Amino acid sequence: MFRIIHPDDFPSAVEKAKKLMANKYKRSDSFEYRIFTREGAILWIRNKLTVIRSKDVVIKVYGLVSDISPQKRAEEEVRKTAENLKKLNETKDKFLSIISHDMRTPFSSILGFTDLLLENENLNSEQRRNYVMNIQDSTKTMLALVNSLLDYTRLHTGRFKFEPSKQFLRQLVQKSVSATSGNALPKNISFSIEIHEEELVFVDQNLILQVFNNLFSNAIKFTPPGGRITIGTLDEQNQRFLKCFVSDTGVGIKKEDIPKIFNVDTKFTTQGTEGE
C-alpha cells in the first residue's frame, strides 16, 4: 500500500499511521493523501484506519478507502476562484486609486484658472477666453477619466475597445499642456514644445492624453517657480516607433526610487516644491 502513496504525502501518511498504532487509547483515525493508480493517474483518497489490539498489542489494522478526488477538485476550484476574486478586487482598488489620482490634475487646473479669473479683474477678453478654453479642456479630461471607469468595466467583461487612430503629436501635446497649465501659471512655469507640426502618431487619443496629463502634472509639481518643462521627440532609426520625452528643471527622482514608479503594488509619493 505504501508504495502507491504520492511521495509528497508519504512521510505524513506514514507518521499518522504510526501515531495511531502507538496510541493504545485510540482505535481509528482518517487520513487524506494522494495515491497512484495502475495507469499512473493521481487520486485523492480518504483512508479510515481501524486498529485491533489484544492486550495493548496491535494484531490487525483495517483500512476503509474512499475516493475523494471530486471533492478535492471542487475545493481547488473554490480556492482558485477565491484567489482570482481577491486579485480582481486588488486590481480594482489600485485602478480606482490611480483614477482618483488622475482626477486631481484636471480639478486642480480648473481651480487654478477659476482663481485667476476671479482675482484678476484687468484680464482682457482674449485672456479670459483662453482661460475658459483651458477650463473646458480640463473638463473634457475629467470626462475621459470617467469614461475610463466605464472602460475598466468593459475590460473585465470582454467588451473593452482599444481605438487607435492617426493623430498629430504636437496637437495632442498642446491639448494636454492646456489641460494642465492651470497648475503651472501660479508657479510661472513655462512649456517648450519641440515637436514638428507634421509628426504623426498612431495612438488611442484618450489613453495617450492621460499619459501626457500625468507626466506634465508631475513635472509641474516638482519644478520650482520660474522653471521650464520641455517636451520633444528623439531621432530613432526605427521608423515604427517614436520616442517622446518630458524634461524639466525640477528636483528629479532619487535613483533608488525610480523602480517604484513602475510598480503598481508600491505607493510612492513625495511632496512638491510648493507643498502640493
User: What is residue 74's predicted lDDT score, i.e. its pLDDT?
Assistant: 93
Say whether 202 sits in a helix, a strand or coil.
strand
Residue 67's pLDDT band (boundaries 50, 70, 90)? Answer: very high
208-250: pLDDT as tens digits: 988 898 899 889 988 999 999 999 998 776 778 889 999 999 8
Tell me if 2-67 shares its fold with 100-261.
no
User: What is residue 142's predicted lDDT score, i.e. its pLDDT?
Assistant: 79
CATH topology of domain 2-67: Beta-Lactamase (3.30.450)
Report the amino acid identity of residue 183: N
269: pLDDT strictly greater than 70: no
Arithmetic mean of pLDDT, 171-194? 90
Share of the chain above pLDDT 90, in %: 33
Cα–Cα distance between 92 and 187 in angstroms, integer?
A: 35
- Per-chain mean pLDDT for the chain: 84
43: pLDDT strictly greater than 70: yes
271: pLDDT strictly greater than 80: no
Least reliable range by pLDDT among 11-25, 88-102, 178-192? 88-102
User: What is residue 1's predicted lDDT score, i.e. its pLDDT?
Assistant: 58
Domain ranges of the chain: 2-67, 100-261
Cα–Cα distance between 251 and 51 in angstroms, integer?
A: 76
User: What is residue 160's predicted lDDT score, i.e. its pLDDT?
Assistant: 65
Instruction: Look at the pTM and tell me if it is higher than 0.85.
Output: no
Name the residue among 236, 235, 218 with its Cα closest to residue 227: 218
Cα–Cα distance between 16 and 103 in angstroms, integer?
A: 59
Three-class secondary structure assignment of 216-266: HHHHHHCCCCCCEEEEEEECCCCCCCCEEEEEECCCCCCHHHHHHHCCCCC
So what's the architecture of 100-261 in CATH? 2-Layer Sandwich (3.30)
Arithmetic mean of pLDDT, 38-61? 89
In Å, how far are 14, 115, 185 from 111, measured between CA atoms? 72, 6, 12
Report which secondary-structure segment, H or E, holds 90: helix 69-119
75-89: pLDDT as tens digits: 999 999 999 888 878
Residue matched to cell numbers 484680464 = 123
Least reliable range by pLDDT among 25-29, 73-77, 258-262? 258-262
26: pLDDT strictly greater than 70: yes
Residue 176's pLDDT band (boundaries 50, 70, 90)? Answer: very high
186: pLDDT strictly greater than 90: no
Cα–Cα distance between 217 and 101 in angstroms, integer?
A: 11
Cβ atoms of residues 229 and 246 within 8 Å: yes
Arithmetic mean of pLDDT, 131-148? 80
Higher pLDDT, 5 or 259: 5
